A and B are shown apart, each in its own frame.
Chain A
Amino acid sequence: MNRSLAILFAAALAATGCRAQKAAKPGETAAHGAKAAVPTSDFTHQIHLDQGIGCTDCHEGIDKATTLTKRHLPPSAKCAECHTDNRPAPSTENIPPPRLTFSHAQHVSQKQIAGKCDFCHKKLPEMGEPYPKLSMETCTQCHKHQQDFAYGRCRPCHLDLKGYKPEVAYAHEGDWLRNHGAQARPSAESCAACHDQTYCGKCHGPTTTAARPSVIWPEDVQASFIHRGDYVSRHTVEADANPSSCQKCHGPQFCQACHAQLNRAQNGQQEGVGGFQFIRPPSHNASGWANNPAAGNNFHGEQARANINSCAACHDQGAQAVCVLCHQHGGIGGNPHPPTFLSNHSRGDINKNNMCKICHPPGTF
């Protein structure tokens, strides 16, 4: 750990006097991949219920509890009222800490719930079984929280949402990684109820990130990381098929930062020379790319129309762009605008955009 980490730890620990309660987030460890163990019950409820023992016979005081702080589990003495073999009381060690603001007293005082614990607790934990989680629907069968859910207003009922996963709306099932963007766009606040933005930034912050996720976590083989492996080899193919997918995260300057450091090859270089000719696409060397406009066979315009974003990866230098040489007003390259351009723009637009004035200086158009 470096100095900054030491400072932070010291500051945080000194300020809070806390200690780490558990080593890792549920379902996530430092060496991504391993899952946290699921706590299980060491008590059998059903046998006791079959004996006619009521809930409050063992869970004394639960019906008057206004918080979940106290467990209200029976002590050994309670077990000894029936059992003579000195068996220990159920352990609280494996029971997850309560993370809800909840008053049993307030609920059991309601007429429709009074005496009916199974109104909410429809499944009780049995020996060796994971503790059953009460679903949100247990609450929403009475409480109307639709609006709060949409607004991501989970507190004060939920103290925190760690380890919870949406069960119905926004359930992280199926090909969630592919579909999450479409669902997050209308309701980012719902996502933010569980995820702070450091989570989003692992993939959505390429401008400032240290490295790709697959570089930082190579051991996380089951994750659907973006740009896994030697992605740089195939990025041209994917950029051709879907330029927008690149452009949504990377500005043209991101491409140029790399391309400029490599061999920005010049005319005449052949494929494979030096092993790095790829920076200049083979199409640029083909006869008729841009060198014979009079014959009408220069096809770079068609290529540019099809995927202008690829051009931008190398040629987006404003007034210094190579395109300006031929395509400025009156140049030999002629009018480069697509047919729909003039229908969407008027001459007046030239004055609204400095970029237009590069090719259309005042008085030329």
Chain B
Amino acid sequence: MRKTTALLAAVAAMAGPAARADTVDVSSTTMLTLGQQPLDGQPNQAPSLGTVVPVFELLNIAAHNVTNPVAQNLEIVVSGWGSYNFDTIRWDNGVSTRLTGDLVNAYIGGRLFNNTVQLRLGREFIMGGVARGLQLDGGEAIAMLPFGLRASGYVGVPVTQRFTGVVPTSWNPQAGSLAYGGRLSYYLALPGGFSGRGLDLGASVNWVNDGSNMPVRQEVGADARLMLLRNVIATGFFAYSVYDERISEGSVVLDWRAIPRLDVNADFRFTAPDLLLSRQSILSVFSASSRKFIGGGATYELAHGIGVGANYHLVLEPGSEGGTYYGNELDAKVDWHHESTRAGAEFFLLDAFENGYYGGRLFGRQDIGRFFGTADVMTYFYRHNINGQDYSVIGILSAGVELAKGFSAVVSGSAGANPLFQEQYSLLVKLAYNANYRVREVK
């Protein structure tokens, strides 16, 4: 956390008199939580339940359009947190110390050469193409070329949690110690009165190696986005594992805004889950299975503040004796709001080969002036017992108040029972602050 503090202070100092930001967004959340965790599990013994009481400070600072002589829209973004455990040390933060923390983002970015090159350096996400939102300590450059062409490249180290750990213990889904890749795309703008009408085609590559320069992931991909009509958009994605010479992922999504209040979509998705494992995993050579999802959904905004929506997908997964299991995935939702009241209900169903569930959720919120209260209840029923129990239920009550000058306070408590705890409870108290500072006047 000391490193975090020092880094944040340094970033703030960088945004000093010589670099005045047009806007600075700040959000801070200080929260204390209290709950239970199973701890110190040993073979053939039930773990003990410990009470964990961590206090968190979550901080986001984003300065945009920082005035400077070099880059356009220079931005400095830092998002991080720190926590201190008052009682038993939590295990889900990856370290065994009372004081811990991490950075989610910490980057500086801007556009150069008359907006033709975009640079970002630091802890960031690589969002486009086959990178799949790779969290990286490194840099990315995007060049806007003539004739609708764009080229991007990135290099860095896949993020490891909590400033600790080495490659073998990284939680990063792509693991490895060096990642690099890029994307080349072409945008064909079509005339027609609205922005975004056109065809976007991209080809991307993502290479990840481990410390011995051995392959962790080697993928190439193609993506497309087509918008001819203002109410229809089609997207596609295709990824191929070069190392294993197999298709790792594919999807086609069609979204149609049938009428202003009705949105309909259909999609087909294919995944080969084993290809998302590291190529250095001993388990990566045992399977070549796949999953397919076919279905779609719709949302409709009725009158009187009522909205409804539902999605259904047929799930094709490996079944018994080498066959295919035809599973089902369904969710439906109704939402209602009127003035300062909001309520909703949800239904879920998942039918998979090994197990399945159906469940529901009811929620509501009432605002009274600066005060508000919420209630949230969820329950699930499982087809087969999980740990000897076939249901779970949890209820959450929250109350809060909007304080002056961007501050707000919330108290929340939950209680329930699930297969992992016969009973569970938690308590949260937090003070939050959100502000948008406009620094430079419009001239």
Contacts and interface: CB of A to CB of B under 8 A. Distances in A.
A182 to B, nearest CB: 4
Contacts of B196: 146, 149-150, 166, 168-170
A273 B388 CA distance: 9
Interface in A277-315: 277-279, 302, 304-309, 311-312, 315
Contacts of A276: 38, 41, 46-47, 387, 420
B282 A323 contact: yes
Interface in B141-165: 142, 144, 148, 150, 159-162
Interface residues on A, range: 35 or more
Contacts of B225: 183, 186-187
A358 B407 CA distance: 57
A99 B102 CA distance: 35
Contacts of A273: 46
Contacts of B62: 196, 198
Contacts of B56: 210-211
A149 B233 CA distance: 16
A264 interface: yes
B81 A251 contact: no
Interface in B71-90: 72-73, 75, 77, 79, 81-83
A230 B392 contact: yes
Nearest to A305: B287
Contacts of B435: 20, 22-24
B276 interface: yes
A46 interface: no
- The B interface, classified by DSSP as helix, strand, loop or mixed, is strand
15 contacts: A4-B9, A29-B402, A33-B374, A137-B194, A208-B135, A221-B375, A242-B315, A251-B175, A262-B38, A263-B41, A307-B289, A316-B282, A321-B283, A353-B214, A355-B285
A247 B174 CA distance: 9
Chain B CB within 10 Å — which of A258, A269, A308 has the most? A308
Contact of B350 (A237, A263, A266): A237
A12 B437 contact: yes
A241 B317 contact: yes
A356 B17 CA distance: 57
Interface string B318-330: 1111100001010
Given A159-B22, A219-B372, A262 B41 contact: yes
A115 interface: no
B385 interface: yes
B59 interface: yes
A218 interface: yes
A233 B284 contact: no
A363 interface: no
